[in-house]
Amino acid sequence: MIYTASTTAIVVFVVFVGFVLGISFYLGRKAKSAQGYFAAHGQIGWFVNGVAFAGDYLSAASFLGICGMIAFYGYDGFLYSIGYLAGWVVALFVIAEPIKRLGKFTFADALNANYNSRAIQIAAAISTLVVSIFYLIPQMVGAGALCTPLLGLPHWAGVVIVGIVVLMIVVTAGMVSTTWVQFIKGSMLVVFCAFLTIAILGRGFRVTASRDALKPVTVTNPKDIPYGGQVVDIGSAGTTPGASTGPLGPIEFFRRINDVKVVQWTIKPDAATPGASIYTPVEKPVSDLMLPGGSSTFKGVRSSKLVDKLDFISLMIALFAGTASLPHILIRYYTVKDAAAARKSTVVGIASIGFFYILTLYLGLGAMTSGALDPTPAGSNMAAPLLARTFGELPFAIISAIAFTTVLGTVSGLIMAASGAVAHDLMENVFKHHPNENAKVGAAKWTAIAVGIVAIILGTLFKDFNVTFLVGWAFNVAASANLPALVMLLFWKRTTRAGIVSAIWVGMLSSLTWLMLSGPAYTNIYKLDASRAIAPFSQPGLVTIPLGFIVLVVVSLMTRKATDLRAV
- In this chain, which stretch among 46-54, 152-160, 406-414, 528-536 interacts with another protein, using CB under 8 A? 46-54
Q: Which of 10, 17, 113, 153 binds another protein (CB under 8 A)?
A: 113
Q: Which of 9, 64, 71, 361 binds another protein (CB under 8 A)?
A: 361
**Shortest Å, Cβ 367 to another protein:** 17
**Ramachandran sector of residue 514 (left: φ over 0; alpha: ψ -120 to 50; beta: rest):** alpha
For another protein, the closer CB: 10 or 89: 89
For another protein, the closer CB: 361 or 444: 361
Three-state DSSP class for residue 242: coil
Q: Which of 21, 86, 394, 439 binds another protein (CB under 8 A)?
A: 86
Residue by residue, DSSP assigns 411-450 as: HHHHHHHHHHIIIIIIIIIIS-----HHHHHHHHHHHHHH
Q: Is position 99 an interface residue for another protein (rule: CB under 8 A)? A: no
CA 214/CA 232 separation, integer angstroms: 9
Q: Which of 101, 223, 433, 561 binds another protein (CB under 8 A)?
A: 101
Rg (CA), the chain: 24
Q: Is position 339 an interface residue for another protein (rule: CB under 8 A)? A: yes
Number of shown-chain residues binding another protein (CB under 8 A):
65
Q: Which amino acid is at 207?
A: V
Q: Is position 29 an interface residue for another protein (rule: CB under 8 A)? A: no
Are 444 and 101 spatial neighbours (Cβ–Cβ below 8 Å)?
no
Q: Which of 108, 316, 423, 455 binds another protein (CB under 8 A)?
A: 316
Three-state DSSP class for residue 385: helix
CA 412/CA 426 separation, integer angstroms: 20
For another protein, the closer CB: 32 or 309: 309
**Shortest Å, Cβ 344 to another protein:** 7
Site for another protein in 340-359 (CB under 8 A): 340-341, 343-344, 346-347, 350-351, 354, 357-358
Are 137 and 458 spatial neighbours (Cβ–Cβ below 8 Å)?
yes
Cα 79 to Cα 62, 135, 291, 539: the distances in Å are 11, 19, 10, 15
Q: Which of 119, 157, 313, 394 binds another protein (CB under 8 A)?
A: 313
- Site map (CB under 8 A) of another protein, residues 245-284, x = contact: ------xx-xx-----------------------------
CA 456/CA 454 separation, integer angstroms: 5
Nearest CA to 367 out of 229, 189, 208 is that of 229
- In this chain, which stretch among 3-11, 31-39, 74-82, 134-142 interacts with another protein, using CB under 8 A? 74-82
- The strands making up 230-234's β-sheet, listed across from edge to edge, are 217-219, 277-285, 260-269, 230-234
- In this chain, which stretch among 168-176, 333-341, 454-462, 550-558 interacts with another protein, using CB under 8 A? 333-341
**Shortest Å, Cβ 300 to another protein:** 8
Nearest CA to 507 out of 472, 548, 537, 550 is that of 548
Q: What are phi and psi of 463, to 5 degrees?
A: -65, -20
Strand 230-234 relative to strand 217-219, pairing: unpaired
Q: Is position 78 an interface residue for another protein (rule: CB under 8 A)? A: yes
- In this chain, which stretch among 1-9, 453-461, 484-492, 506-514 interacts with another protein, using CB under 8 A? 484-492
Are 75 and 291 spatial neighbours (Cβ–Cβ below 8 Å)?
yes
**Shortest Å, Cβ 550 to another protein:** 20
Are 62 and 84 spatial neighbours (Cβ–Cβ below 8 Å)?
yes
**Shortest Å, Cβ 345 to another protein:** 9
Site for another protein in 489-518 (CB under 8 A): 490-493
CA 72/CA 386 separation, integer angstroms: 13
Residue by residue, DSSP assigns 23-50 as: HHHHHHTT--SHHHHHHGGG---HHHHH
Q: Which amino acid is at 509?
A: L
**Shortest Å, Cβ 182 to another protein:** 13
**Shortest Å, Cβ 249 to another protein:** 11
Q: Which helix (H) or strand (E) holds 260?
A: strand 260-269
Q: Is position 25 an interface residue for another protein (rule: CB under 8 A)? A: no
Q: Is position 93 an interface residue for another protein (rule: CB under 8 A)? A: yes
Residues that bind another protein (CB under 8 A): 42-49, 75, 78-79, 81-82, 85-86, 88-90, 92-94, 97-98, 101-102, 113-114, 251-252, 254-255, 287, 290-293, 300-302, 309, 312-313, 316-317, 320, 336-341, 343-344, 346-347, 350-351, 354, 357-358, 361, 490-493
